[in-house]
Amino acid sequence: MKYNLLGNTGVLVSEIGLGTMTFGGGAKWGMFGTLDEKEAGYLVDLALDAGVNFFDTANAYAEGRAEEILGKTLKSKRHQALIATKVRARTGPGPNDIGLSRLHIIRQVEESLKRLNTDYIDLYQIHNPDQLTDWEETLRALDDLVRSGKIRYIGNSNMTGWEIMKTRGISNLTVCIISKAANRIIHSPQGRSKGRLSLP
């Protein structure tokens, strides 16, 4: 397995990671896959044996079930894994059960830690931009979580290059110590439109 640096952190991550969108199924997420705990555990073990150390999930995948399954399958192997999860998507019916407000981020990191059965998250990512919340609010909440040790690094997902540069500029102008470690985009030979806009 080849390994690459995670941003400028000095941490090495496998060139190939294992995504968990197919773990858990459910009404909304079943169209992506319905792997149960046993099947997912088999995949995680195969990945670890192949040298994969990067596992990507999200609080919204299978309504949190994907995080639970990943947490159970990695329980005794946590030291071998770098876990990335995400925040922003709707997690309940309430008006504050979505977004990148301090309230939602703090609640969701606590829920993710419980589901993943871990004391810390290696990479906590903004799943999508939030048009209702000021970036300062979001970045300060993430900065506080890094300082508390609940998350180690932050990153983003599905953001354009100009959005990434805006958040970097804001973090340079505020007291935030944040340096984003990763940018996750969906890019394939068939779908390149995001890729053109995602490199700052």
- Dig out the tokens for 55 from the structure: 């596992």
Q: What is the mean pLDDT of the chain?
A: 87
Residue 95 has a pLDDT of 97
Share of the chain above pLDDT 90, in %: 68
- Active site annotation includes 61: yes
pLDDT at 186: 54
Lowest mean pLDDT, pick from 33-37, 56-60, 109-113, 160-164: 160-164
Tens-place pLDDT, residues 151-166: 999 988 888 888 888 8
pLDDT at 29: 77
Total length of the chain: 200
The per-residue pLDDT for range 163-197, each reduced to its tens digit, is: 888 887 887 655 444 455 555 555 445 555 544 45
Please say if the pLDDT value at position 77 is more than 50: yes
Active-site choice (3, 61, 120, 153): 61
Q: Which helix (H) or strand (E) holds 4?
A: strand 3-5
Least confident of 55-59, 85-89, 170-174: 170-174
Cα 43 to chain center, whole Å? 19
Q: Which domains does the chain have, with CATH numbers?
A: 17-197 (3.20.20.100)
Cα distances from 45 to residues 41, 52, 80, 92, 133, in angstroms, run: 6, 9, 11, 32, 39
Q: Name the more confident of 170 and 126.
A: 126
